[in-house]
Amino acid sequence: MDTLDLASWIVGFVDGEGCFQVSFTHREKLQTNIEVRASFSVSQNSRSKSSLLKIEEFFGCGSLRYSQKDDTFIYEVRNLDDLYTKILPFFRSYGLLTYKKKDFDSWATIVFKIKQGHHLNKTGLKEIIENAYTMNSKGFGRKYTKDDLLKFLES
């Protein structure tokens, strides 16, 4: 498979099974009381682990982990530099075709803001929170509501 075919395959795969996420953790030791972390992940049943290994090899970053709960493997990139220099430029170049394009656009803005240090002050972090809660509209897996985070930010 040549590079263009592989890139197209990855875009299609991520359109179906990928996720661009921003998570928040309450951390009283931080000036803003909130830790923010962006990530990119793709999951597959353990029978299809080889697909994720191909994606990991292509990007040259991230790692695979196993979820015994649902017998899946998850390829995940959490390192900010890798997200900023590898994942973000790839999807900007090749695009996405489904509703995930909107989530990606919001996620890309957030990754840029984190990279610029906007998450370290209350005004910037509030913008990140507002933007993050427009993504992944089903909201599965969110530990905190947007209102919870805004209260942590003001406390």
DSSP assignments along 93-146, one per residue: HH---STHHHHHHHHHHHHHHHHTTGGGSHHHHHHHHHHHTTSSTT-TT-SS-H
Provide the percentage of residues in the chain whose pLDDT is more than 90.
Answer: 70
Half-sphere exposure of 110 (CA within 13 A, CB side): 27
Mean pLDDT of 34-52: 94
Q: Are 19 and 144 in contact (CB under 8 A)?
A: no
Q: Output the pTM of the full model.
A: 0.90
Which pLDDT belongs to residue 27?
A: 87
Which pLDDT belongs to residue 150?
A: 85
Query: pLDDT for 108-145, tens place per residue?
Result: 999 999 999 999 899 999 999 999 998 876 555 578 88
The amino acid present at 60, given as its one-letter code, is: G
Confidence of residue 32 (pLDDT cuts 50, 70, 90): confident
Name the residue ranges covered by the structural domains of the chain: 3-154
Mean pLDDT of 64-83: 95
Distance CA 93, CA 123 (A): 30
Mean pLDDT of 57-66: 96
Which pLDDT belongs to residue 155?
A: 74
Which pLDDT belongs to residue 26?
A: 87
Homologous superfamily (CATH) for 3-154: Homing endonucleases (3.10.28.10)
